[in-house]
Amino acid sequence: MQALINFVISIWVPLVCALVIVAVLPLAAGYIVLMERKVMADMQARLGPMRVGPHGLLQPIADAVKLLLKEDIIPEEADKGIFWIAPLISVTAGMLAMSALAIGPWFQVADLNIGLLFVVGIGALGIFGIVLGGWSSNSHYSLLGALRSAAQLVSYETAAGMAIVGALLLAGTLSIREIIEAQEDYRVWFVFASPVGFFIYVVASIAETNRAPFDLPEAESELVAGYMTEYSGFRWALYFLAEYTNMVVVASIATTLFLGGWLRPFAGSRAFDFLDYLPSVMMLGVAGYCFYRAPKQPVKIQQMVLAAVGASFILVAGILAAPLLAPAGSMLASAKAGLHGAFWFLLKVVLYLYLFMWLRFTFPRYRFDQLMRLGWQFLIPLSIVNVMGIGLALVLHRQLGWSHWTAFPLTTILTLAVAGMLGSAGAKKDKEHAIVGEEA
């Protein structure tokens, strides 16, 4: 009997997880778009989408229906086969990368011993979709967008890779699960052991996902829409889905490597156990806001929808609270790891995405030469110094017996000093360029 249960678990759990990823990611992408529009509206003192559903909550579904019904135009001179398959490559790569990530200790398609390399490597294949789509459109804007995208990805992949190497040195493994367990053993998330590495990864991941301020491949003031200029309807939506999937993937990598994955803040200390109640309290807060806003909606049906949303949040709060209230040792109490793990992981991913949006609406777009200089002359040297600094800290800690609290801050200060030197050298060069420009 036990063997049968194990067999069913070993086959069906990965299959169900994979299906959930494929089914939920498009919906999640739609709601990330809505979140982005709402955040943008908030930062620009507007309301954002308000018409479809209460507070625009059904806007993603309306958008999806619109995109599915739009005519799919293929340019006459395009390379039809490649034009047809290019968006699929991007989407497939993003979804495959998701499959190795762990959303909570229970939800993972497969824990590979090369886990992190798999996510990074497969995710990088998505660039072929962009490059081939841009080329096959047979349009100058598309081709320039694709070229920029390829150059940008190749440049920033190095910096991101070296930042990941730094965190991997700390964890000593490539398996996603073991990386998070290593952070549990250290009693500290790696963002505090290697803040410079986290900074490099944030910048490089924005550049890799082609988002502002590094969104030159689709800079609308220069290239119409970059590599997807000629795409319309469903294929265009696939490119969008791929972009948002990639955002979720890089956010998940950052969460896993630097922000403790599914771990609660202060996971090791009993004094902070009250944080276990935070998920339920947050959900109840959201539900309360829904009920508070519901009577103020203009249309009857919108009031009902908002009330239903509030009720479902109460349900989620109940599910999250149930393992805490159940007697210790029961089946329900053991569900806490999976449920709360997923909650904390998703919360960190959403906060990381919010950081992306915040940066997007605060910084002006970089020029292409500035982008290249930042990548090659600042981030890549800094990331190499960062790896050497973490190596030094590990030697001081493990071989010479220094404590964490002296070794890691010391090497972080050293790395920051190098960063300052690199930055001031770059600024000097900028000034020289500016003078040359004025004379010319």
Partner 1 sequence: MLDQIVFYFFAALAVISALLVVTRRNVVQSAIFLITALLATAGIFLQLHAEFLFIVQVILYAGGIMVLFVFVIMLINLDVSIHQVQFNRQWWLGLLLALVLGAQLILAVALGRSGLPLGEPAPATALEPSTQLVGRVLFNEYMLPFEIASILLLVAMIGAVVMAKKKV
Separation between Cα atoms, residue 345 and residue 265, nearest integer Å: 11
Q: What's CA 368's distance to the chain center, in Å?
A: 24
How many residues belong to the site for partner 1 (CB under 8 A)? Answer: 27
- Copy the structure tokens of residue 25: 């990611």
Instruction: Choose between 217 and 341: whose C-beta lies nearer to partner 1.
Output: 217
CA R_g for the chain: 24
Stretch that binds partner 1, among 35-43, 107-115, 193-201, 245-253 (CB under 8 A): 107-115
Task: Tell me the closest approach of the beta carbon of residue 280 to partner 1, in angstroms.
Answer: 39
Which is nearest to 422 in space by CA: 394, 382, 388?
382
Among the listed residues 43, 47, 114, 311, the single contact to partner 1 using CB under 8 A: 114
Stretch that binds partner 1, among 45-53, 63-71, 142-150, 293-301 (CB under 8 A): 142-150
- Copy the structure tokens of residue 100: 């190795």
Q: Does the footprint of partner 1 cover residue 312 (CB under 8 A)? A: no
DSSP state of 103: B
Q: Does the footprint of partner 1 cover residue 120 (CB under 8 A)? A: yes
Q: Does the footprint of partner 1 cover residue 110 (CB under 8 A)? A: no
Among the listed residues 117, 282, 335, 392, the single contact to partner 1 using CB under 8 A: 117
Stretch that binds partner 1, among 14-22, 26-34, 119-127, 197-205 (CB under 8 A): 119-127
Q: Which residues of 213-237 are buried (b: 16+ CB within 10 A; e: fewer)?
A: bbbbbbbeeebbbbbbbbbbebbbb
Task: Tell me the closest approach of the beta carbon of residue 117 to partner 1, in angstroms.
Answer: 5
Instruction: Choose between 86 and 259: whose C-beta lies nearer to partner 1.
Output: 86
Q: Does the footprint of partner 1 cover residue 118 (CB under 8 A)? A: yes
Q: Does the footprint of partner 1 cover residue 219 (CB under 8 A)? A: no
**H-type helices in 114-194, by residue range?**
115-124, 127-136, 140-171, 176-186, 190-193
Q: Does the footprint of partner 1 cover residue 253 (CB under 8 A)? A: no
Which is nearest to 143 in space by CA: 214, 223, 41?
223
Q: Which of residues 168-187 bind partner 1 (CB under 8 A)?
A: 174
- Copy the structure tokens of residue 421: 């030197």
Stretch that binds partner 1, among 2-10, 111-119, 238-246, 359-367 (CB under 8 A): 111-119
Q: Which of residues 346-375 bind partner 1 (CB under 8 A)?
A: none
Which is nearest to 176 in space by CA: 226, 224, 120?
120
- Copy the structure tokens of residue 369: 């030469």
Per-residue 3-state assignment (H helix, E strand, C coil) for 171-205:
HCCCCHHHHHHHHHHHCCCHHHHCHHHHHHHHHHH
Task: Tell me the closest approach of the beta carbon of residue 85 to partner 1, in angstroms.
Answer: 9
Which is nearest to 256 in space by CA: 328, 196, 170?
170
Q: Does the footprint of partner 1 cover residue 79 (CB under 8 A)? A: yes
Which residues lie closer than 8 Å to 233 by C-beta, 6 or more apart? 67, 68, 70, 71, 72, 73
Stretch that binds partner 1, among 144-152, 233-241, 370-378, 396-404 (CB under 8 A): 144-152
Instruction: Choose between 124 and 317: whose C-beta lies nearer to partner 1.
Output: 124
Stretch that binds partner 1, among 29-37, 139-147, 257-265, 294-302 (CB under 8 A): 139-147
Instruction: Choose between 16 and 114: whose C-beta lies nearer to partner 1.
Output: 114
Q: Write out the residues near partner 1 by the rule CB under 8 A.
A: 79, 82, 112-114, 117-118, 120-122, 124-125, 127-128, 131-132, 134-136, 143, 146-147, 150-151, 153-154, 174
